[in-house]
Structure 1
Amino acid sequence: MKALMLCGHGSRDKGAMEEFGGLAEKLRERLPDWTTEHGYLEFAKPVIRDGLNRLKNGGAREIVALPGMLFAAGHAKNDIPSVLNTYAAANDVAIHYGRELGIDPKMIRAAGERIRECLRANGWRDGEPLHDTMLVVVGRGASDPDANSNVSKVMRMLWEGLGFAWGETVYSGVTFPLVEPGLTHAARLGYRRIVVFPYFLFTGVLVRRIYDQTDKVAEAHPEIAFLKAPYLGAHDLVVETFADRLREVLEGTNNMNCQMCKYREQVLGFEAEVGLAQESHHHHVEGVGSSADCALCDDICTGACRAVPAPGPVPGAAHSHSHAGDHAHDHPHDHGHSHDHDHGHSHGREHGHEHGHSHGAGHAHGGGHDHHHHPYPHADHPLGPKSMR
């Protein structure tokens, strides 16, 4: 049995989960010889363990697992491998872990097509110069500088590839600059049009927040046309990139990039994080607070749980923590840690389920939800989220 597990982050937003499920269905159509399941790390159901159970119960003894992540920060390096390693050890199955989508020509082409769709919808014709138009790419943001820098590289390749007059990178959370101050800065540069492109796979609270903040800056600058490009979604080239990641595992060419990993190398400003232990704390939010459980919102998560004072319970929800939407940590639920919880590093090897290498550092969790995360060195940056301070 050829068994494939697609591991997503998860969201409280029903639309985001439907879109991720649609991606899994496209992969099933693209890979008819494989039995494909999907699951989520947090805030949605089914959880990853449920998908693995379905594959095991169907007869699988070897499973290829792919992270549904654009870049490798804490979720791809730590949290998903921790879930997979724990499951593999307890259930006598071999799990071969693939790498993130990463910087890939197909992903750049998919992004370029989304941006062109936006431009065409606003009167642009193919081949027209973009000398009066600026591009702003919005990344998720992480406490991992390597992942953040990858967003900047994507922006630069789109900037040059499409011929924009100028380009900037901003982030939806965790790091800096955030969307609103970044767009306010961009508005000062004198371009007639600014295309705002969320480099995200799916919808959710964060994407809607990006568009809302774009509208806010646009209202303050009526002389500039702000165009909101669609996010990547389950574009055919995104599906093809996932198929490539599966092929890499089968061919034994599945290597993560360690050159600038803050857990392996002394990256400037993050030297104290070399060797931190690999672990995950997402067990406390597996499957809870999903759209199926929460009565505060309808199909679209509005972040209403943010208005519920911590640590009191959220009425109608299965979880008492007030996480907003896509695990955005700019909310009252403050543990002094960032979104990506990066305390380890897991490399997809060619075979076997040894997804990570040990860093040897003691980094134990206390009981309950008392996490001891390494501080983000730029938590007090004036253009970063308040929750990082």
Structure 2
Amino acid sequence: MDDKPVLLVVAHGSRDARHAATVRALVARVRSLRPGLHVETGFLDFNTPSVSQVLESLAARGVRDVVAQPLLLTRAFHAKADIPAVLREAPPGLRVRQAEVLGPSPLLIGALERRLYEAGVRHADRAGTGVVLASAGSSDPEAIAVIERVAREWRRTGWRAVRPAFASAALPRTEDAVRELRALGCDRVAVAPYVLAPGFLPDRIARGAAGADVLADVLGPAPEVARVLLERYAGAAASLPAPVGV
């Protein structure tokens, strides 16, 4: 094993079995990119093991340092409130540092484009294609602003237009953004889910994409997602104080 902090991937969890399966596929890709790194997975709700169970197990095995990596694309309630609350309850002697959320990152734009190309969009089609950047949504203004900024920056890479949309808590909805791009005169409309794993809100995005020409898959275990996860881990690990005696 690397003489590095344990990487604890923190996922939300879902009643939808596809969610946990996708999280585990992403974690498997992370392990393949960093052989020897100790990687664990914990869930906030619905699935096991819970984050608390993983932390207790690590402490019992004598682990000292942990980097908790939220599987989140924006800083909203989970990153600001419930994940920190769980981590504060870590067993005594276990030093836990919460890493930054995954987004925004150019690597995630690469993952979005990978999924669009896999769904049938050609690079040559970019100039005529309008893209809906479909997020789960949040009531946090900071998170909404990040999605809107990602859409603006992605538009500059050559797409006809990129519009943000939200499955909950904010507007517009996916179907509204699809209609807007149609009215704009785009040759084709593609929906790119800016979500990590299947579940209730991604299914709502898919229903809203009924009027589009292309619906891409969720980001899931795309190699770019695994790479940005390891980047965030490295940044947090570097900020942990060195063990006594080192």
TM-score (norm 1): 0.58
- The residue aligned with 1:118 is 119
In our comparison, the structure showing a higher alpha carbon Rg is 1
Q: Structure 1 or 2: larger strand share?
A: 2
Deviations, residues 358-381 of structure 1 (Å, cap 9, x unaligned) = xxxxxxxxxxxxxxxxxxxxxxxx
Counterpart of 2:36 in 1: which secondary structure?
A: coil
Q: Which amino acid aligns with 1:37?
A: E
1:148 alignment partner AA = I
* Residues 314-360 of structure 1: per-residue CA shift (max 9 Å, x gap): xxxxxxxxxxxxxxxxxxxxxxxxxxxxxxxxxxxx559xxxxxxxx
Counterpart of 2:136 in structure 1 is 140
Percent of residue pairs bearing the same amino acid type: 28
Does structure 1 retain, via aligned residues, the 8 Å contact 2:56–2:90?
no
Residue among 142, 167, 191 paired with 2:186: 191
The 1:39/1:93 distance shift into structure 2, 3 A limit, reads same
**Structure 1: distance between partners of 2:241 and 2:224:** 26
Checking the alignment, whether the CA contact within 8 Å between 1:37 and 1:52 is kept in structure 2 is: no
Query: Residues 141-156 of structure 1: matches in 2 within 5 Å?
Result: 141-156=137-152
Contact conserved, 1:139 with 1:148, CA < 8 A, in 2?
no
Query: Which of residues 35, 38, 63 is equivalent to 2:38?
Result: 35
Q: Quickly say closer, same or farther: Cα 1:48–1:188, change in 2 above 3 A.
A: same
The C-alpha deviation readout for 1:258-305, integer Å capped at 9, x for no partner, is xxxxxxxxxxxxxxxxxxxxxxxxxxxxxxxxxxxxxxxxxxxxxxxx
1:26 aligned partner, one-letter code: R
Shift of 1:184: 3.0
Query: How far, CA to CA, are the matches of 2:106 and 2:176 in structure 1?
Result: 30
Whole-angstrom distance in 2 between the partners of 1:166 and 1:245 = 30
User: In the alignment, is residue 55 of structure 1 matched against residue 54 of structure 2?
Assistant: no
Aligned to 2:201: 206
Would you say 1:76 and 2:91 are equivalent positions? no
Encode CA deviations 1:188-214: one digit per residue, 9 max, x unaligned. 222231011110111112212211222
Counterpart mapping for 1:149-164 below 5 A: 149-161=145-157, 163-164=158-159
TM-score by length of 2: 0.89
CA contact (8 A) 1:96 1:351 kept: no
Match of 2:101 in 1: 100
Instruction: Structure 1 unaligned segments of length 5 or more: list them.
Output: 219-224, 253-349, 353-389
- Find the partner of 1:166 among 156, 161, 164: 161
RMSD between aligned alpha carbons?
A: 1.9
* Residue in structure 2 matched with residue 11 of structure 1 by the alignment: 14
The whole-number CA distance in structure 2 between the counterparts of 1:193 and 1:180 is 14
Query: Any idea what SS the aligned residue of 1:92 has?
Result: coil
C-alpha displacement of 1:106: 1.4
Name the residue aligned to 2:236: 249
